[in-house]
Amino acid sequence: MKRDIILSGVGGQGILSIAAVIGRAALEDGLHIKQAEVHGMSQRGGDVQSYLRISSSAIRSDLIPRGAADLIVSMEPMEALRYLPWLADDGWVITGITPLINIPNYPEGETLRRELEKLPHAVVLDADAVAKAAMAPRSANMALLGAAAPLLGIDAAKLEYVMELKNIFRGRIKEYADRYPSATYYPGQRPWGVKCDIAMPCATQNELNGDEAQALVDNGCICVAEGANMPSTPDAIRIFQQHKLLYAPGKAANAGGVATSGLEMTQNSIRLTWSPEEVDAKLKSIMQNIHAVCVRYGTQSDGYINYVVGANIGGFMKVANAMLAQGCV
């Protein structure tokens, strides 16, 4: 069994929530999964894309090549069309039809519908209307996921139960473990006690404290990369640095979303549209430059790179140079 899935939409539509539900169901079904958020936005209104690769055998890469996706699930019709070059000849598109107009010269809705209806395998759904009819207007993403469920290749009953549990009954995930004993639930615990090489706190502010940081160190973790705004407490950061972990603070490691927002605003300003490959290349260059700045200002005499210091000084220098260029000082 193998499924390569692209999830797409606009910031705030719940694309990553869809990815989380599918990933949970796949793991509980005993499947291998890899996920890559190619344009994870930190601002609403920007492009969000996630690759999901699910297989009964080991998966080596988390990226999906062009022409290989089995399924595109998109909350937004224009975003569905954007990723068609990645769809396999026999692949399916499951998309919402409600446009989120966030750029100038956005195509007419009827034009988008006609283009989607030309596809040999497509389901075009008014997910917002379905969610409202179910008295859950903020769950349009789960309505769309329901339409895609038969094509995912995983236990649809488990997937349906998770969607129902979280979006209708607002229940706790413990109830899933009660229903499916093969799942393991750790009451009152957070994931930082699990042995790992790399930890990536990506949920919310202050989700990783000093005791949990020490547990990561004791269990052999060598790298912590933040994917949220300030997810590690000051005590946790201090422990990471004392033990010389490769610690990448969110202000640097999580800058890709805001950077891509800037690239989108640039396209709007100059009235040009860049291809996904061009955006990827520009984003890669930005992130490489951020890393170089952190290394430049954060390398200590013993060779350890303090990415917090490097990012802070680099940010200060950027603002100071801009003020000098504008004649403010």
Task: Indicate which CATH number applies to the domain containing 264.
Answer: 3.40.50.720
Helix, strand, or coil here: 74?
Answer: strand
CATH number for the domain harbouring residue 132: 3.40.920.10
Query: Is 251 in the same domain as 106?
Result: no
- Cα separations in angstroms, 281 against 38, 65, 285, 286, 290: 12, 16, 6, 9, 14
Instruction: For residue 125, list its beta bridge partners.
Output: 96
For residue 272, being part of any structural domain is answered with yes
pLDDT of 230 strictly over 60: yes
Of 125-129, 230-234, 286-290, the least confident: 125-129
Is residue 257 located within the same domain as residue 159?
no
User: How, if at all, do strands 198-199 and 223-225 pair?
Assistant: parallel
State CA 283 to chain mean position distance: 15
Distance CA 100, CA 78 (A): 9
Residue among 166, 106, 172, 114 nearest 141 (CA) = 166
Q: What is the SS3 assignment for 315?
A: helix
Last residue of a domain, one of 159, 179, 199: 179
Whether 186 is covered by a domain: the verdict is: no
Q: Tens digit of pLDDT for each residue in 292-326?
A: 999 999 999 999 999 999 999 999 999 999 999 98
Residues 6 and 141 in one domain: yes
Query: Helix, strand or coil for residue 236?
Result: helix
CA nearest to 154, candidates 25, 20, 4: 25
The domain of 238 spans 191-325
Question: How many angstroms separate the CA atoms of 140 and 233, rounded?
Answer: 34
Q: CA 299, 290, 263 angle in degrees (round to 5)?
A: 175
3-state helix, strand, coil in the chain (%, to 5): 45, 15, 35
Give pLDDT tens digits for 194-227: 899 999 998 888 999 999 999 999 999 999 999 9
DSSP 238-282: HHHHHTT-EEE-HHHHT-HHHHHHHHHHHHHHHT----HHHHHHH
Decide if 202 is inside a domain.
yes
Regarding whether 308 and 205 lie in a shared domain, the answer is yes
Domain identity same for 150 and 203: no
Domain edge (last residue) among 179, 212, 227:
179
Whether residue 185 is contained in a domain is answered as no
Decide if 184 is inside a domain: no
My answer on whether 149 and 59 are in the same domain is yes
Q: What pLDDT sits at residue 250?
A: 93
Q: Residue type at 100? A: L
pLDDT digits (tens, 9 = 90+) for 72-109: 999 989 889 989 999 999 999 999 888 887 777 788 88
Cβ pair 18, 144 in contact under 8 A = yes
Which of 179, 209, 242 terminates a domain? The answer is 179
Number of domains present in the structure of the chain: 2
Q: What angle do CA 295, 296, 300 make, to 5 degrees?
A: 70
Residue 282 burial (10 A CB sphere; 0-12, 13-18, 19+): middle
* 48 domain-assigned: yes
* Higher per-residue confidence, 297 vs 18: 297
Q: Do 216 and 130 fall within a single domain?
A: no
Shared domain for 174 and 203, answered yes or no, is no
Residues 140 and 224 in one domain: no
